[in-house]
């Protein structure tokens, strides 16, 4: 598929939906690490990892929450970079859940979401290239740097 085909309004709509989804969901999940309204996040922590921590599992989840909020903000601001961060983060969560063997359904969901984040990163690269191509075609030049 060419860049021109990827710059259709429908593809842009999908890109925008994915950008907000993969930006806002980590922010909401990160905020919930401080309130535990959705779930008790500590139950997902692998016990062998919890034993290695130099602080409590609760403190670890608060740190995780901050990381997730920052990752979500990066997706919203720079989706071509942030989507790779969220992709890796979700894959790591899935791997720790697979080691725990208690939450295989959540691990599979996180792996699927990781693939979606990768797809967003690819769309973001195309979206950025499409905008640069349109601007260059209209006489506007972007500097490399």
Instruction: At 6, list the tokens.
Output: 């990827």
Q: 143 lies in a domain?
A: no
Domain count, the chain: 1
What integer is the mean pLDDT of 51-68?
A: 95
Q: Judge contact between 68 and 82, C-beta under 8 A.
A: no
- Confirm whether 68 is domain-assigned: yes
Q: Write out pLDDT tens, residues 113-144.
A: 999 999 999 999 887 645 533 443 344 343 34
Structural domain contains residue 145: no
In this prediction, residue 8 has a pLDDT band, given cuts at 50, 70 and 90, of: confident
Note whether residue 51 is domain-resident: yes
Residue 144 belongs to a domain: no
Tell me what pLDDT residue 46 has: 85
User: Is position 34 within any domain?
Assistant: yes
**Predicted local confidence at residue 142, as pLDDT:** 35
Characterize 54-75 residue by residue with b for buried, 16 or more Cβ atoms within 10 angstroms of its Cβ, and e for exposed: eeebeebbbebbeebbebbbbb
Structural domain for 8, as ranges: 3-130
**Within-domain flag for 10:** yes
Per residue in 62-108, pLDDT (tens digit) is 999 999 999 999 999 999 999 999 999 999 999 988 888 788 999 99
Inside any domain, residue 136: no
DSSP state for residue 39 in the 8-state scheme: -
């Amino acid at each position: 598929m060419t860049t021109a085909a990827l710059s259709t309004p429908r593809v842009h709509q999908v890109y925008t939906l994915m950008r907000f989804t993969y930006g806002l969901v980590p922010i909401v999940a990160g905020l919930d690490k401080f309130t535990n309204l959705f779930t008790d996040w500590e139950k997902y922590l692998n016990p062998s990892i919890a034993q290695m921590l130099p602080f409590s599992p609760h403190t670890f989840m608060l740190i995780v929450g901050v990381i997730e909020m920052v990752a979500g903000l990066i997706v919203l601001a720079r989706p071509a970079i942030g989507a790779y961060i969220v992709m890796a983060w979700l894959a790591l969560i899935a791997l720790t859940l697979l080691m725990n063997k208690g939450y295989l359904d959540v691990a599979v969901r996180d792996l699927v979401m990781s693939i979606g984040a990768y797809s967003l990163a690819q769309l973001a690269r195309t979206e950025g290239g499409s905008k640069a191509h349109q601007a260059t075609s209209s006489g506007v030049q972007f500097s490399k740097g």
